[in-house]
Amino acid sequence: MSAVAKLAALPRNARRGIALGMLVLLMLLAWLLVVMPIRLVASSQDDWRTEISRQISHDRGMVKSATKIREASVTVRNAPIRSRLYAAGAVSIDDQLQNDLRAALMQSGVEPTTFKILPGSTAKGLREHRVEFASIMSVDQLRSLYTALEQQAHYVRVERLRIESPASQATNENPRLTLLMEARGYSLEAQPEPAATRVARAN
């Protein structure tokens, strides 16, 4: 007896159940073989688009950052204060700083004093030069000293100032102050020269 004859001999309800089962099986196969691959392809395409968009945004951000860095570099190179930095020459920078301080003191009417060179440091491409000195001057002379330092060719920063005033002062008197000052000057950090390239000559 053939399979078709056996199916025809089955009750009507049984044949209907088998038909429904086959339909469900065909739908499941269609889902696995057609719908699922399409969904996987669509999902991978979405992930790819998202990754490309993220990469494009990242690249645009890098371009903008690089542009801002170049603009900042140009601004720093052209900044007026850069021209006021100390530069090494026949006279050491520490001596140049002392000479500038001595000239500012004399311009303010204060006698030259003894300077003490303090250890310097290097940070962010700048070399820091430190000088300390003690002196006695009036408030007006101290104000004149600051003005003289601002007007000099080199940038000199008063980093630390300790002032001691007399215990008793007259109301009509400009008291003499004893002060200890630390001043700093700056120079560009020396960049190491690139090693010369040697070319071997063939014999």
Question: Which pLDDT tens digits describe the chain residue by residue (203 residues)?
Answer: 565 565 566 676 666 766 667 777 777 776 667 666 676 666 666 677 777 778 877 777 776 666 665 665 555 556 667 788 998 888 999 999 999 999 999 999 998 788 999 999 888 788 899 999 999 998 899 999 999 999 999 999 999 999 888 777 666 777 788 899 999 999 987 655 444 444 444 44
Q: What CATH superfamily classification does 83-167+174-188 receive?
A: Ribosomal protein S6/Translation elongation factor EF1B (3.30.70.60)
How many other CB atoms sit within 10 Å of the CB of residue 59?
10
Strands of the chain, DSSP E: 115-123, 126-138, 156-164, 176-188
Residue 115 CA to residue 7 CA, distance in Å, equals 116
H/E run at residue 190: none
**Cα–chain center distance at 133:** 35
Amino acid 194: pLDDT:
45
Q: What angle do helix axes 93-107 and 139-151 make, rounded to 10 degrees?
A: 130
Amino acid 198: pLDDT:
45
Q: CB–CB of 184/100 below 8 Å?
A: no
When computed from its CA atoms, the radius of gyration of the chain, rounded to whole angstroms, is 42
Residue 55 CA to residue 58 CA, distance in Å, equals 5
Total residues found in the chain within this entry: 203
Amino acid 75: pLDDT:
56
pTM for the model: 0.55
User: For residue 117, which of 139, 138, 94 has the smallest C-alpha distance?
Assistant: 94
Residue 157 CA to residue 185 CA, distance in Å, equals 6
* Alpha carbons within 13 A on the beta-carbon side of 96: 20
Amino acid 167: pLDDT:
73
Residue 63 CA to residue 79 CA, distance in Å, equals 24
Structure tokens at 37: 């691959």
Amino acid 148: pLDDT:
94
Amino acid 181: pLDDT:
93
